[in-house]
Amino acid sequence: MSAEEAARRHAELISRLIDGECSEELVVELRGALCDSAACRDALVEQLILDSLLHDELGADSLAALVDVVAESGSYQASTAGVAGAATPNIGLSRSRRQVGWLAAAMCLGGIVFGLSRWEPSSVASAAIVIQAAESVHAEQLERVYVVESERSEAAVPFVPPRDVRVATRGDRFFVTMSRGPRQWIWGCDAAGSIWMTVGKRRAIVVEDDELGPALRYVSDLYSLEIETLLRNFRRHCRLEQSQDESGDHVIRVVPRFTNARGGLRKATIEVDRESKVVRRLVLDREFPEYGKSTVTFTLVDTRPATETDYSPAGHLEERYELLSRATVPDRRRELLTNWFGSPAERWIVTPE
């Protein structure tokens, strides 16, 4: 059998294993191929990982185990006994169409796959594993605070960035604390896309999505951090390349597979802590025709228990506060914004057509 024919046969056997259609005779054949061919071993492990990533079937513990096993810069080598025991992630499958989960079969073949090979995963596969592990960690009930630095080219929207910006995030929820001198304000975004913003200690302004003026929409785009969705989009829609820094933490470079004239992400760099799988630094390079180019860097500075009320205006206002919205006192909002931020803020709210 030629090398090309062998590769096709190996691919067929691996596919039938993953689909739960591998008979005892085919398992024996595949086991023999794994013993004889390093390429077959590589193909099996790679396909198992990518198949799980495609269907989001890995839990947080299993992801952490896979990252530790296959996402290191060096090769991994373990004894057959070690892999059959604690080193093998306990990952189950739920799809009923599979007669036998791939993990069960992989555990039977695990001693061969990991014990006889020195497998170095592709950058794409290991980067995807690290990102999915970070997704799971950031879904936990903990709040992480990032200091934000921004650089931007000349844009159509006039905007002077505050000196001190911090984003507190839990999953896809976030609120932003901004300071300019002694003045501080806090804003966030609700599920409907409306922006809320504190103005003093007893008032907050709510601006609905169709009322956002160019400058306010730009600030929202610049500083918002829906980290779970962001990581998921990176994993599914971008090209990934992984390396490691001097400390051994994971560094992943991200480039979208497709771009469009409306702009958006051009590239990103994610630094993920090796032990905790937390995103400790995130750099986003974006470009929008109406805003110009921007580079925003998020650097982790704190991890703390999350407080539910902090993700709404109530968590940042004193008792007997007032919410000003389009439904209550729409004109008063512009007046307060102008008094607080100056005359350009009058254009932060527009009247929907």
234 backbone dihedrals φ, ψ, rounded to 5°: -55, -50
Of 77, 87, 86, which is closest to residue 115 (Cα–Cα)?
77
136 part of a folded domain: no
Domain that holds residue 321: 142-348
Asked if residue 168 and residue 110 are part of one domain, the reply reads no
Helices (DSSP H) in the chain: which residue ranges? 3-18, 24-36, 38-55, 60-70, 80-84, 102-115, 123-138, 214-223, 227-237, 330-341
Could you report the per-residue pLDDT of 135-167, keeping only the tens digit for each?
989 988 899 999 999 887 765 555 666 778 999
Q: Indicate the pTM of the whole model.
A: 0.68
Of 138, 206, 185, 190, which is closest to residue 311 (Cα–Cα)?
190
- The average pLDDT across 201-205 equals 93
The CATH code of the domain that includes 238 is: 2.50.20
Asked if residue 147 and residue 116 are part of one domain, the reply reads no
Asked if residue 167 and residue 115 are part of one domain, the reply reads no
Asked if residue 260 and residue 343 are part of one domain, the reply reads yes
- Contacts of residue 94, Cβ cutoff 8 Å, sequence gap at least 6: 57
Of 87, 121, 155, the residue at which a domain comes to its end is 121
Asked if residue 215 and residue 313 are part of one domain, the reply reads yes
Q: What is the pLDDT of residue 36?
A: 81
Residue 227: pLDDT band (50, 70, 90) is very high
User: Residue 339: what residue type?
Assistant: N
Asked if residue 155 and residue 82 are part of one domain, the reply reads no
pLDDT at 117 over 50: no
Q: What is the DSSP letter of 211?
A: G
Q: What is the pLDDT of residue 285?
A: 93
160 part of a folded domain: yes
133 part of a folded domain: no
What order do you get walking across the sheet with 203-207 strand by strand? Answer: 238-244, 250-256, 264-272, 279-288, 292-305, 142-152, 164-170, 173-180, 183-189, 195-198, 203-207, 322-324
* Alpha carbon distance 230, 149 (integer Å): 18
Q: What is the pLDDT of residue 98?
A: 40
Parallel, antiparallel, or unpaired: how do β-strands 292-305 and 142-152 relate? Answer: antiparallel
* Alpha carbon distance 335, 329 (integer Å): 11
353 part of a folded domain: no
Most confident of 69-83, 118-132, 296-310: 296-310
214 part of a folded domain: yes
Of 121, 150, 184, the residue at which a domain comes to its end is 121
Asked if residue 170 and residue 102 are part of one domain, the reply reads no
Q: What is the pLDDT of residue 230?
A: 93
89 part of a folded domain: yes
Of 72, 92, 121, the residue at which a domain comes to its end is 121
Residue 234: pLDDT band (50, 70, 90) is very high
249 part of a folded domain: yes
Residue 112: pLDDT band (50, 70, 90) is very low
Could you report the per-residue pLDDT of 42-82, keeping only the tens digit for each?
777 666 665 555 455 455 555 555 555 444 433 333 333 33
Beta carbons within 10 angstroms of residue 116's beta carbon: 15
Asked if residue 326 and residue 255 are part of one domain, the reply reads yes
Asked if residue 76 and residue 204 are part of one domain, the reply reads no
Asked if residue 297 and residue 166 are part of one domain, the reply reads yes
Could you report the per-residue pLDDT of 71-111, keeping only the tens digit for each?
443 333 333 333 333 333 333 333 333 433 444 444 444 44
Q: What is the pLDDT of residue 304?
A: 95
Q: Which of 16-30, 40-54, 147-161, 237-251 has the lowest average pLDDT?
A: 40-54
Q: Which residue has the higher pLDDT, 84 or 230?
A: 230
Asked if residue 343 and residue 201 are part of one domain, the reply reads yes
Give the total number of structural domains in the chain.
2
128 part of a folded domain: no
- The average pLDDT across 242-267 equals 84
Asked if residue 105 and residue 162 are part of one domain, the reply reads no
Q: What is the pLDDT of residue 310?
A: 93
